């Protein structure tokens, strides 16, 4: 079932709507403003339902949203060194909006990126899904190609677990650079509950990408073994977050891309993260098709007047953002997101919600 409702009007006057998807005891709410995930309501071990996604209760919150709650980020997610994208023998320039003197780029454009636009939406009632699309003209946001972006949210139930599948795409009439992600924050106890440091996580990653002091990728991936970044066995998010480690100091915690094992171009979604909340018994598994995913423990969160009257502080939610490695355009030996007229960009994320420790 899909239920459409009004969510107000964007600054330009365009009508904004929400779409509630319901299946198998779960309820997911998305909006066509920024193709944003607003909430996910799922039961705990005792059948009590709570919303486990951080966000706002009205459109106004998303109009000024530096944390990018639930947002579809693009065309270029994460940080890009010097705000430059070398492409086809030329250098494309993104807005300088991050780092010292604003010399780097973060998430394409924090004011005009994909997460700040009203997308067209089409409901697929039979599939319990909504397909959203938006366009960028050649040169818009600094990159070539007349581009059509898509975001499809679909909710289903499999073996007692609720599965939210997010499919991203881009079609273009000229070679371009695309690296989209979803920026949802999760607190499996409930979006308005305590910090997430007691929640357990297991990452299917043997390596992570260290960052410089300005949070841009520092160099080649390094092994997690023997570091606080080793989540190959389940441990609490807070177990090592205060360790005396230069990478944790630079980011105030975890704010790093992990190299998810088994990447193959065009491959099926594979497990990247498994998480569990001992208090509620809720679990979350995130499957990805991208080479990596960025673990962020909400180290800088500070938002009042969130939904249900909540106030969010540091580490009250965690994000796991599937992506090609940050700043990969400056590392040609890393996997590169392909988007040409012949080979459109495609990526898939599967959020699987259940109960019980998923690794047992």
The catalytic residue positions are 183, 321
Question: Which residue is it, tokens 């818009």?
Answer: 140
- Distance, first Cα to last Cα, the chain: 32
**305 CB neighbour count, 10 Å cutoff:** 13
Contact by Cβ (8 Å): 170, 339 = yes
- How far apart, in whole angstroms, are the C-alpha atoms of residue 147 and residue 125? 27
How much of the chain is in helix, strand and coil states, percent to nearest 5?
A: 10, 45, 50
Is the dihedral angle over the CA atoms 236, 203, 288, 284 positive or is it negative?
Answer: negative
In this structure, the chain runs to a length of 360
Cα distances (Å, whole numbers) of residue 53 to 66, 269, 351: 16, 22, 12
Largest Cα–Cα separation, the chain: 58
Angle at 195 between CA 193 and CA 200, to 5 degrees: 110
Nearest to 229 by CA among 264, 254, 195, 263: 254
Contact by Cβ (8 Å): 215, 176 = no
């Amino acid at each position: 079932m899909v239920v459409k409702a009004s969510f107000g009007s964007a600054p330009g006057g365009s009508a904004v709507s929400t779409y509630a998807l319901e299946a198998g005891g779960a309820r997911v709410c998305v909006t066509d403003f920024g193709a944003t995930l607003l909430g996910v309501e799922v039961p705990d071990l005792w059948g009590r339902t709570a919303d486990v996604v951080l966000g706002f209760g009205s459109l106004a919150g998303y109009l000024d949203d530096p944390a990018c709650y639930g947002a579809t980020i693009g065309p270029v997610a994460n940080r890009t060194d010097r705000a430059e994208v070398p492409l086809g023998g030329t250098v494309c320039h993104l807005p300088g909006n991050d780092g010292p003197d604003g010399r780097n780029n973060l998430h394409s454009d924090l004011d005009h990126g994909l997460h700040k636009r009203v997308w067209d939406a089409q409901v697929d009632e039979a599939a319990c899904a909504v397909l959203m699309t938006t366009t960028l003209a050649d040169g818009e946001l600094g990159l070539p190609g007349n581009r059509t972006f898509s975001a499809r949210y679909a909710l289903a139930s499999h073996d007692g677990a609720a599965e939210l599948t997010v499919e991203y795409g881009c079609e273009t009439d000229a070679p371009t650079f695309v690296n989209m992600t979803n920026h949802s924050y999760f607190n499996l106890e409930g979006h308005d509950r305590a910090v997430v440091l007691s929640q357990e996580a297991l990452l299917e990653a043997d390596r992570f990408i260290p960052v410089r002091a300005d949070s841009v990728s520092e160099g080649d991936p390094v092994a997690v073994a023997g570091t606080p970044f080793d989540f190959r066995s389940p441990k609490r998010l807070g177990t090592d977050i205060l360790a005396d480690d230069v990478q944790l100091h630079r980011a105030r915690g975890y704010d790093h891309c992990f190299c998810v094992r088994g990447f193959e171009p065009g491959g099926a979604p594979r497990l990247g993260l498994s998480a569990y909340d001992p208090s509620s018994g809720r679990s979350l598994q995130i499957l990805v098709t991208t080479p990596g995913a960025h673990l962020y423990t909400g180290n800088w969160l500070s938002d009042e007047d969130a939904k249900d009257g909540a106030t969010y502080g540091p580490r009250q939610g965690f994000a796991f953002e599937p992506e090609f490695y940050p700043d990969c355009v400056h590392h040609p030996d890393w996997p590169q997101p392909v988007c040409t007229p012949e080979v459109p960009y495609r990526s898939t994320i599967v959020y699987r919600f259940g109960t019980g420790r998923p690794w047992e």
